C-alpha cells in the first residue's frame, strides 16, 4: 500500500512538471496582456482522479528544457513570443543590417552593458524578449542619443512622456538616460500600450507614433470597413518601417549564421551592480575608489549632468560587477578629505553671470562651463547653480533641490545711446518716468540736476535697453556633446486621447 501511495505521488509530480510548459498557443500575442510580476505560463494541476495520458494529449505539450542558456543571446531567443512579420520591408531591413557588419558589431557590443538587466525585467513581467532588442532600433543602444525632436536616452523618451512616467529632468540629471529608470518607464509604457491595443505590433506602432495616432488610424479603417492590423493602417514612413526593423534584428539574432553575422559573446550574467550612496560625492572620486575610468562610470550612469552625485536625488549608482565590492571597501576606508567638491547655490535674484561668478568665487568662464550658461544671458532668480563647496561644509544638498532644481535664463539687457526730444514742461523726473529709468541716471547722462527742466524740443541723451529676444531662454542642462539617434524623424505631431499618456514623440 505504501508503495502504491509513493507511486501515485510520483505520477502526480511528473504530470505537474509536464503541465507547466504550457500549450503551443501560449507563445502567440493574441492572449490578454500579462501584468507585471506574473509568469508567462500558468501551471496546470490535475483535479480529480488521474487518467492515463493519451497520445493526443501528450502531443499538445512541449517538454521543458532544463539546460541553462549558453549565453544571453540564447536566453533571448528562448523568450521570443511575438508573431513574426514577413514582408518585403523586413527583407529590406535584413539586407541593410547584414551589409553593415561594423555597425552591427559596435551596436551589439555597446548593448552588452545593459542587455542582461533588460532581459531580466522582461522575464519578470512575462513580456516577449524581442522587446530587449528595441533599443537597437531606437538609439543603437546609446543612452546619450538625442533625436532632432529632443527624444533622449536609449529608449528615446520625449520630455513630456518622460515626466508622465516619473523620469526626473532637472539641472543635475536626466532620468530619460538612466539605465534602470528609463527601462522601467519603457516597459511600463509598452505594457500599457499592449493593454490598449491587444497586439504587440500595434503597441510598438503606438510607442513610435503615439497612442492617439494609432487609435485614430484604427478608427478610420473601421469606418471604411478595412482591416485594423499593423500592415493595414495608414501611417508615417518611420512607423511603417518600425516593426520591420525590429523583426529584421530579431531574425539576425535568431540565426546569425544565415546572415553571415557574428554576435559578440554576452554572458548570461549581470554586467553591473547597484550600490547605495548616502552622501554627496564627486564622480571622479567614485571612479577612483572603484578602480575604473570616469568614462566607464558615466556609461553606466549616463543621466548625470554634473561632476557630483547628489545622494538625496540619486541614492544608488551602477558599477561594473567586479568593481562594486572594490568601491564599497575603499569607500569605507576613505579618510583623505571631503567627498564632494561641489554644492548647489540658489540664485536669490536675477543677475548677470559676472555678478554670480563674484558671489561664488569662480571665474565667469568656469561658472558658464560648469552650469551650461549660454552667451548673452542673465541667470533668473531661483535658479540652482552648481558651485564650489567650502571645505568646512558638511551639509548635503536637500532632496527637494536635488530632484527639482532648474536653471532658467533671460536675455541680457543691452543699452544703446540715443536722444529724445523734450516736450513742453518736461523735466528730468518726467522723462525718467516715461522711459522707466531713474531720474539720477537721466540727470547724469545730461550733466544736469535731478530737479532740472528741459526746454521744448531740447535733445535729451538717453541710454535705453535693447532686448536681444522677446522671450526668456531656459535650459535645464548644460550643452554636452551627444550622439544623435540614427533613425529618421518623419510624420506629424501625435497626441494622446484626452486623459491619456503624452505622445512619446512630438514631430
Q: Which of 61, 27, 30 is nearest to 41 (CA)?
A: 27
Q: Which of 494, 506, 482, 491 is nearest to 140 (CA)?
A: 482
Q: Which of 279, 275, 290 is nearest to 339 (CA)?
A: 279
Contacts of 111 by beta carbon, 8 Å cutoff, 6+ apart: 135, 136, 141, 266
Catalytic residue among 130, 138, 232, 336: 138
C-alpha cell at 221: 479603417
| CB 211, CB 496: distance < 8 Å | yes
C-alpha cell at 399: 532632496
Q: Which of 58, 73, 187 is nearest to 121 (CA)?
A: 187
Cα separation, 109 vs 142, in Å, equals: 11
Burial 33-68 (b: 16+ CB within 10 A, else e): bbeeeeebbeeeeeeeeeeeeeeeeeeebeeeeeee
How many C-beta neighbours within 10 Å does residue 308 have? 24
Q: Which of 95, 186, 65, 69 is nearest to 133 (CA)?
A: 186
What number of CA atoms fall less than 13 Å from residue 375's CA on the CB side?
A: 0
Cα separation, 402 vs 383, in Å, equals: 12
Q: Where are the beta strands (DSSP E) in 301-458?
A: 308-309, 316-320, 342-346, 377-379, 384-388, 407-411, 413-421
DSSP code string of 20-59: TT--GGGGSS-SPPPPTT--SS------SS--PPPHHHHH
Torsion of CA 300, 306, 310, 313, to 10 degrees: -70
Residue 364 annotated as catalytic: no
What number of CA atoms fall less than 13 Å from residue 28's CA on the CB side?
A: 6
Burial 3-30 (b: 16+ CB within 10 A, else e): eeeeeeeeeeeeeeebbebbeeeebebe
Active site residues: 138
Amino acid at each position: 500500500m505504501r508503495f502504491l501511495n509513493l507511486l501515485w505521488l510520483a505520477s502526480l509530480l511528473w504530470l505537474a512538471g509536464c503541465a507547466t510548459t504550457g500549450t503551443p498557443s501560449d507563445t502567440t500575442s493574441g492572449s490578454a496582456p500579462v501584468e507585471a510580476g506574473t509568469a508567462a505560463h500558468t501551471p496546470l494541476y490535475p483535479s480529480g482522479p488521474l487518467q492515463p495520458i493519451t497520445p493526443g494529449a501528450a502531443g499538445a505539450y512541449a517538454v521543458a528544457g532544463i539546460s541553462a542558456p549558453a549565453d544571453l543571446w540564447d536566453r533571448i531567443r528562448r523568450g521570443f513570443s511575438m508573431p513574426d512579420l514577413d514582408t518585403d520591408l523586413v527583407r529590406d531591413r535584413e539586407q541593410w543590417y547584414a551589409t553593415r557588419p561594423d555597425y552591427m558589431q559596435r551596436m551589439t557590443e555597446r548593448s552588452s552593458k545593459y542587455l542582461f538587466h533588460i532581459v531580466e525585467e522582461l522575464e519578470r513581467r512575462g513580456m516577449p524578449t524581442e522587446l530587449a532588442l528595441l533599443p537597437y532600433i531606437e538609439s543603437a543602444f546609446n543612452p546619450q542619443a538625442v533625436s532632432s525632436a529632443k527624444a533622449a536616452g536609449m529608449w528615446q523618451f520625449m520630455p513630456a512622456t518622460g515626466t508622465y512616467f516619473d523620469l526626473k529632468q532637472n539641472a543635475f540629471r536626466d532620468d530619460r538616460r538612466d539605465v534602470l529608470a528609463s527601462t522601467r518607464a519603457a516597459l511600463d509604457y509598452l505594457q500599457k500600450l499592449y493593454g490598449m491595443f491587444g497586439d504587440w505590433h500595434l503597441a510598438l506602432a503606438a510607442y513610435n507614433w503615439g497612442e492617439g495616432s494609432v487609435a485614430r488610424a484604427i478608427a478610420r479603417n473601421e469606418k471604411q470597413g478595412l482591416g485594423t492590423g499593423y500592415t493595414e493602417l495608414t501611417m508615417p514612413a518611420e512607423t511603417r518601417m518600425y516593426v520591420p526593423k525590429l523583426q529584421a534584428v530579431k531574425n539576425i539574432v535568431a540565426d546569425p549564421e544565415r546572415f553571415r553575422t557574428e554576435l559578440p559573446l554576452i554572458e548570461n550574467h549581470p554586467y553591473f551592480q547597484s550600490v547605495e550612496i548616502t552622501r554627496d560625492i564627486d564622480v571622479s572620486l567614485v571612479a577612483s575608489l572603484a578602480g575604473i575610468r570616469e568614462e566607464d562610470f558615466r556609461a553606466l550612469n549616463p543621466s548625470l549632468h554634473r561632476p557630483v552625485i547628489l545622494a538625496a536625488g540619486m541614492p544608488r549608482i551602477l558599477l561594473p560587477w567586479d568593481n562594486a565590492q572594490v568601491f564599497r571597501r575603499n569607500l569605507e576606508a576613505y579618510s583623505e578629505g571631503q567627498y564632494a567638491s561641489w554644492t548647489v547655490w540658489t540664485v536669490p535674484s536675477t543677475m548677470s553671470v559676472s555678478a554670480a561668478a563674484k558671489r561664488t568665487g569662480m571665474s565667469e568662464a568656469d561658472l558658464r562651463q560648469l552650469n551650461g550658461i549660454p552667451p548673452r544671458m542673465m541667470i533668473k532668480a531661483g535658479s540652482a547653480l552648481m558651485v564650489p563647496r567650502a571645505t568646512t561644509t558638511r551639509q548635503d544638498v536637500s532632496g527637494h533641490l536635488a530632484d527639482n532644481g532648474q536653471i532658467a535664463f533671460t536675455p541680457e539687457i543691452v543699452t544703446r545711446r540715443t536722444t529724445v526730444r523734450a516736450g513742453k514742461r518736461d523735466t528730468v523726473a518726467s522723462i525718467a518716468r516715461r522711459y522707466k529709468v531713474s531720474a539720477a541716471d537721466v540727470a547724469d547722462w545730461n550733466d544736469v540736476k535731478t530737479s532740472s527742466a528741459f526746454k521744448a524740443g531740447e535733445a535729451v541723451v538717453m541710454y535705453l535697453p535693447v532686448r536681444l529676444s522677446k522671450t526668456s531662454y531656459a535650459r535645464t542642462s548644460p550643452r554636452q556633446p551627444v550622439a544623435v539617434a540614427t533613425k529618421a524623424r518623419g510624420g506629424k505631431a501625435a497626441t494622446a486621447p484626452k486623459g491619456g499618456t503624452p505622445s512619446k514623440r512630438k514631430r
